[in-house]
Amino acid sequence: MVMLQHTVRKPKGHVFITDPDGGVAEGDTLQCVHCQMHWVVRPGSGTKRGWCYRCNGPTCGKPQCMGRCVPFEKAMELAERRAKLLSDIERI
Partner 1 sequence: MADRYAITGQQNAAAPADTCTAVEAVNLTRGELYDLVFGSSDGPADVALRWEVMRFTAAGTRTAVVPAPLDPAAPAAQLGGGENHTAEPTYTAATELLDFGLHQRATYRWIASPGGEFTIPAVAANGIGARVSPNMGNPLVDCTMHYEE
Task: State the residues that interact with partner 1 by CB under 8 A.
Answer: 11-20, 29, 31, 35-38, 40, 62-64, 72, 76, 79-80, 83
Q: How far is the CB of 92 from partner 1 (least distance, A)?
A: 18
Shortest distance in whole angstroms from residue 37 CB to partner 1: 5
- Output 40 or 41, the one with its CB closest to partner 1: 40
Least separation in angstroms between residue 82's CB and partner 1 is: 8
> Of 37, 17, 34, 41, which Cα lies nearest the Cα of 69?
34
* Distance (Å, whole) CA 64 – CA 33: 12
**C-beta separation of 33 from 59 below 8 A:** yes
* Cβ closest to partner 1, residue 54 vs residue 67: 67
